Amino acid sequence: MKAIRTPSQERILTLLKTIKKGISAQEIYVELRSRNQGMGLATVYRSLEALKLEGLVQMRVLGNGEALYSLTQQDKHHLTCLQCGISVTINQCPAHELEEQLQDRHQFKIFYHTLEFFGLCKKCHDLEGK
């Protein structure tokens, strides 16, 4: 059974379909206002939470604590520099088999997973050594 979504949730889903990258709730708020589809920031957060619980939106928290939201389409994997914040996408996943095992063993519906490695990129690492 398809969940009934609010107009705010539908506007956010439409925006995320056009953005095609992770975006913060604040950026969603600003972007919707610029498109004359404004809503309160609290409504943005409530809508994102509802969409997350429905498995349609995923949230990724960066090393600086900022949360980025995107459509749940594929699992995301990254190398993230703790100093400059650059984030490099990893296109291979060692966790797919584990995900299937966990779903079966625990009768748990997994919408998506993330795999994040934190450290220093080459540029920041080289600067540390100087």
Beta bridge pairs of residue 69 = 23, 59
Beta bridge pairs of residue 81 = 119
**129 and 112 in a common domain:** yes
Q: What is the pTM of this model?
A: 0.66
Helix (H, G, I), strand (E, B) or coil at 64: coil
Structural domain range at position 81: 74-130
Number of H helices and E strands in the chain, helices first, is 5, 5
CATH of the domain at 11: 1.10.10.10
CA end-to-end distance (rounded Å), the chain: 59
Cβ atoms < 10 Å from Cβ of 93: 15
**59 and 1 in a common domain:** yes
Beta bridge pairs of residue 114 = 76
**91 and 63 in a common domain:** no
Q: What is the pLDDT along the chain (130 residues), one digit of tens a residue?
A: 567 899 999 999 999 999 878 899 999 999 999 999 989 999 999 999 999 988 899 888 877 888 999 888 666 688 888 888 888 888 777 788 888 899 999 999 888 787 778 889 999 988 876 6
